[in-house]
Every structure is written in C-alpha cells, then in structure tokens.
Amino acid sequence: MGQETKKTTAKKGTELSQAKEALQQKNVELETAKSAVEKAEKARDIFLANMSHELRTPINTILGLNELILRESQEEAVKEYARDIRQAGNILLALVSDILDFSKLEADKMELTEGIYDVSSLLNDLINSISVQQRRKKLDLVLEIAQDIPYKLFGDEIHIRQIIGNLLSNAVRYTEKGRITLHVSWKELPKDSVELYVIVKDTGVGIKEEDIPKLFKAFQRMDSATRSKDDRTGLGLAITQRLIEMMGGKLEVQSVYGKGSAFSFKIVQKIVDREPLGDFEKQYKDSLRSIEDYHEKFIAPMGRILIVDDNAMNLAVAQGLLKGTRLQIDVAASGEECLELIKRKTYHLICMDHMMPVMDGVQTLHAIRALEGNPSRDIPVIALTANAVAGARELYLKEGFQDYLTKPIDADKFENMLIEYLPDNVVYLTNNRNISDEYEQTQEEGDGEFDIRESQLYLMGFNLRNGLRYMGGDKALYGKVLRDFHSILQEKETALKDFLQKGDMPGYTIIVHSLKGNARNVGADDLADEAFELEKMAKAGQLEDVTVRSPILFGMMNTMRNSLRVYLETEDAAGEKTGQQEPEESAGSITEDEWTRALQELAARLDDFDGESAAAKLRELKRYDRPESDKKMLRLCEKAIKDYAYDIALEVVNAVL
C-alpha cells in the first residue's frame, strides 16, 4: 500500500509539473499573442497616422492649385469645374480626418486636450465653417446664444469645435430650404463649473424613427431618398457621439421625417472668466449687413498684408472681404508660419488672430518685435479677435497691437482700419464709387481715347484693357499703379537673384508669387505667366530648372523696367503740357528751311523717346503762324505724345518731312 501511495504521489507530482509547464507555455503564448496584438495595433496606428498625413499632403496641394485656378481663370466653365473639385476635395480631406479619428477612438487612443478658450471665438469659427454653403443654399441661420455665458472657459475646445461643427455641417447638408438654428445656453454648477447646453436644429429631410439607431454606427447610411449627393460614410456622427461621451455627456436626437431634426447635448466646463459674452447675435447680424451693403472704399494693388489665423475658414472669409481692394494678401495658419514669412517678405500690415494654439497672437506679436533683421519689425499689427468684452481694446493696445477688430468681421470697419494703417502711397480711395460697375459701363459705352496709348503699351508688354479691368476702369489709378510697378521691379529682381544664389526655393517662391500678382494687376500678362511657371518649379524644389529659366524672367523684367522708365518720364512731361496755361503769344513767321530743321529736331527727340523735350519743342512750333495743314499735323502729333505713342508721333512728323 505504501508503494501504491508513492506511485500515486509521483504521478500527481508529474501531472502537476506538466500542468505548470503547460500553464507556463500558455502564458508564453498569451504574452506572445498580446505582444503581437500590441505590435499590430501600433503598426495600425502608425500606418493610419502616416496614411492620413501622406494623403493630406497631396490633397492640400490639389486644393491649393485648384484655388489658383479659381482666382486666375476667366472662363466660367473652368471655374465651375474647379468649384466641383474644391467640394470633392474638401469631402475627401474630411473623410481622411474622420478615419484617423475613428481609429483612435476604436483603439482608445483619443485623448481630451483641455485648455482655456474664448466662447465668442469658438462661435465665430463655427459659423464661418458653414457660412459659404449656408448662403449658397439660401438658408437662414438663427442664433440663440445666451448673452450671459461666461466668455472664457476651460475645456477641450478642439473637440467641442469638432462636435458642434459636425452637427452644423450635417444640418446644412440635409436642409434644402428653411433655416438652421444654433442654440447655446448654460446652467451654473458648484466649484466654478457650468453645464453647457447645445442644440442644433434644422428644417431638413428628417430621419425615420427606425433609422435613428443607425446614425451612430460607423459606415451606415440612411435610405437613399434622404441622402444628399455629397453624403459620406456615416463616420461623423459616430465620432461625435463618442467624443461627447468622453466629456461625460450624451447626444440626444429628435426628428420628424420630412420636417427636420434636432441634435442636442450637455457637457460640463470650468469657468475661467465670468465676464459675460454679450450680444453675439447682434455682432453677427451687423457683420452680415456690412457684407451685403459692401463695395470697396479703396484699392491698393501694391499693398501687401499678412493675415494670421489657425482657422482656414476665417482666412477665407477675410480674403473674400478684401477681394475688391486688389490687396496682395498672404496668409499664415500659425504664429510660427507668420514668423517664417516675415523673414522673407516685407509687409505693410499684419492682421493677427489672438487665440491660436502653441503660439497665440500676443506671443507672436512679441516675437515679431524681437526678431532681428526683420523688415516688418515695426509695421502696424491689428488683432482680429472674437473677444468683445469690456477692456479688450485696452488689453490689446497694452500688448503692443495698433488696434483690434472683433469677429464676426464688419467689412466696413475692416476697410476703414486698413485705410488708416496702410501707407498713404499704396492706398487709392474710390470715393464711394463702385469702380467695378463703372468699368463695365465704360466698356459698354466704348472709349477711343486710349487707342493710341494702348498700342504703345502693348509694344511694351502690357495689356491695357486687362490692367484697367483689374483697376475697375480707373485710368488715373492705372497710371499710378504702373508707376508703383516700375519702382518694385528692381527690388523684386534683386530679391529673386539673392534667393536663387542661396538655393532658397521657399523664399524664391514667395517673391515670384508676389511678382505674378503685381504683373497681373497691370496687365503684364506674359511676365505674369512666366512668373507662374517659375513659381510652380520653385514650389516643387526644382532648383536646377529654376536656375536655367530665371534669366528669361530677369530679361523680361529688365526690358519692362527700362521701357516703363521712358514711359513715365514722358507722362510727367505730358502732364505739365496739359495743365492750364496762359495763351502764349505768337512767335510770328518762320522760313521753310527753319521749319524743316525744327521738325527734324522734333523727330530726333521722338526717335530717342525723349518725351519731355519733344513736348517742349512741339509747344514752340505751335506758336508759329503756319498753314492749317501744318496746324492739323501738330495737333495729331500732340495727341500722340499725350497718349505716349511716340512712334506714331514720329510717323506723323516724317510724313511731312
């Protein structure tokens, strides 16, 4: 029996040992499997992050080049295609972002990033994000914003913006007529907290009751009758719901099929500043009225401004408001990008958003003032901000801003501010005339006054009619802008050669892009086209190609500069001639030989493009008593000189000689 016990004990020991080994093996296998899963998840995250980045880069390039087509094309059919490309590109870009966000949520890798934010800035950005589509569909936007909401809160502004933005964009997408309503109210909680209550309502297609649960499932679509042509994968609301849940809230839906929907949620935020928001709805309506009644008060084709804002729609709105002014506008999406731009280019004015991530507007302003060798170091900087509370102006002036403008931007106030702070020599006031309408009227009525002058400018490389169109038909303004253009040609050529010598393609791109706009403004179309070709090469970093092709551009600039110098000198002379003068006494008679020699001298001056002395000689000849045929010849010659057509004036004189 003892022997039997020993055998049993030994057997149990063996089994236990085997069980331990099996357990250890299983643990090893589990660890291996866990490690493999973690590696797979990490690989997936890396892949999705890289894929998202790699896809965004070419999409942004496509959208950027497409914007150039929209701005520069004169063909309406081409612009319509470009608008479709922009719409599809933006949908694709949003889808890429949705996929990345959804993958993070699925892997529990999405984290809330909390910080201080301005409620009015948040609201302004959200309204701008839907404004283009909302106005295109002629939908009313109703704002029900509590005026006593504390204007500065602490929370995850980025994801709150994403949540409300998704709800608003869906409301616009699925509403063909009627209105969109944004309601924001609040309730105070203990420990300096508030409960924000947000509702987004629409009068759109609505949702069937049985379809509501599908809204929050990824890659689910509703029935085809309610879908819009740009409907996406259904990721937006799935992400929105998960984000709200991460913030401790819940997304509620009420809908009547065929009549509209309402999406609402409540989240808790911390109070940072109890100063009330104020009447945001009034600010918004005032800005709408200013846009509707707008026509440009000034033109500044040679004015250079930089607008800095981390929100793409805000940049688009600001650019759109200033489109009629012909300003050269650069944009930067961050303080860091702003600092890089001002190292390479001189501006007359900077408009700066306050609330930006990483480096806000105040920090960026201080960095601009401290940056050594910065050509824009001392220029005016205006704060663009949604902060309209008491004391805001004093805050910005104390920090060093020259002025500040609240969002939503009032177009009228914006232009008045630009007129005040831009240099006088680049601003041409329109005196409350709608110059675009005036130009169209001039074109319809016809104007033969510039025919001779147009041929002269054409020979110099200028399309006068295109230039006048960009100037709204203002001939005096066109003459002033030509003078400005002449003065910057040497400056830009020197800058381009400097960047080319250093191999600095980003710097070269900025200057050649600016030159393209300058040339287009005055109708120097061939020069603008050449600059555009070099801009594309420089953007692609093709240093060798840019080096080979740049001398062509420099040659065109040099020829144009020299021609313009002569042109402008003679313009000054003609200006003196056309002024009010006392009638000159007759110089009496002149012999035929003396008359011939005088005409030969006039011809020589015209042949040298010496407009000033030619005009003086002509004034002298007009004083002599001559037959009517000679007087008519002098009048024709005077008109040609007045129109800067010296070759035609020379032909008139030679026909007599």
Model confidence pLDDT, tens digit, residues 407-428: 767 777 788 889 889 987 778 7
Q: Per-residue pLDDT tens for 468-488?
A: 766 656 677 777 777 778 878
pLDDT at 63 over 50: yes
pLDDT of residue 270: 93
Packing angle of the helix pair 157-173, 235-246 (nearest 10 deg): 150
| Residue in this structure with the two tokens 């984000």, named with its chain if needed | 243
pLDDT of residue 275: 86
pLDDT at 57 over 60: no
pLDDT at 229 over 50: no
Q: Residue 1 burial (CB < 10 Å; 0-12/13-18/19+)?
A: exposed
pLDDT of residue 287: 64
pLDDT at 232 over 50: no
* Token pair listed for 154: 């602490």
pLDDT at 644 over 90: no
pLDDT of residue 11: 64
What backbone phi and psi angles, to 5 degrees, belong to 267? -140, 155
Segment of 1-5, 247-251, 322-326, 510-514 carrying the highest mean pLDDT = 247-251
pLDDT of residue 447: 45
The answer to whether the beta carbons of residues 587 and 603 sit under 8 Å apart is no
Banded pLDDT at 268 (limits 50, 70, 90)? very high
What is the rounded (10 degree) CA torsion for 364, 365, 366, 371?
80
pLDDT of residue 648: 66
The chain-wide mean pLDDT, for the chain, equals 76
pLDDT of residue 535: 87
- SS3 at position 8: helix
Question: When comparing pLDDT for 323 and 582, which is higher?
Answer: 323
**CB neighbours of 629 closer than 8 A, spacing ≥ 6?**
none
Query: Can you name the residues that pair with 179 across neighbouring β-strands?
Result: 140
For residue 537, CA distances in Å to 21, 60, 101, 331, 509 come to: 67, 17, 35, 21, 9
- Out of 1-15, 29-43, 327-341, pick the least confident: 1-15
- Out of 41-50, 319-328, 402-411, 487-496, pick the least confident: 41-50
- SS3 at position 130: helix
pLDDT of residue 95: 67
pLDDT at 439 over 60: no
pLDDT at 452 over 50: no
Question: When comparing pLDDT for 564 and 272, which is higher?
Answer: 272
How many whole angstroms separate alpha carbon 478 and alpha carbon 484? 10
pLDDT of residue 230: 41
pLDDT at 499 over 80: yes
- SS3 at position 69: helix
Q: Per-residue pLDDT tens for 317-371?
A: 777 778 778 788 888 888 998 998 888 788 899 999 887 878 888 999 999 998 8
How many whole angstroms separate alpha carbon 55 and alpha carbon 45? 15
For residues 426-446, give the mean pLDDT.
52
How many whole angstroms separate alpha carbon 228 and alpha carbon 298? 41
Banded pLDDT at 455 (limits 50, 70, 90)? low
Q: Are strands 349-353 and 328-332 parallel, antiparallel or unpaired?
A: unpaired
Task: Please give the share of the chain, as a percent, with pLDDT higher than 70.
Answer: 71
How many whole angstroms separate alpha carbon 6 and alpha carbon 8? 5
pLDDT of residue 467: 72
- Out of 307-316, 488-497, 579-588, pick the least confident: 579-588
Segment of 131-145, 224-238, 258-272, 548-562 carrying the highest mean pLDDT = 258-272
pLDDT at 437 over 50: no
Q: Per-residue pLDDT tens for 132-167?
A: 778 778 898 999 999 999 988 999 887 888 889 889
pLDDT of residue 331: 87
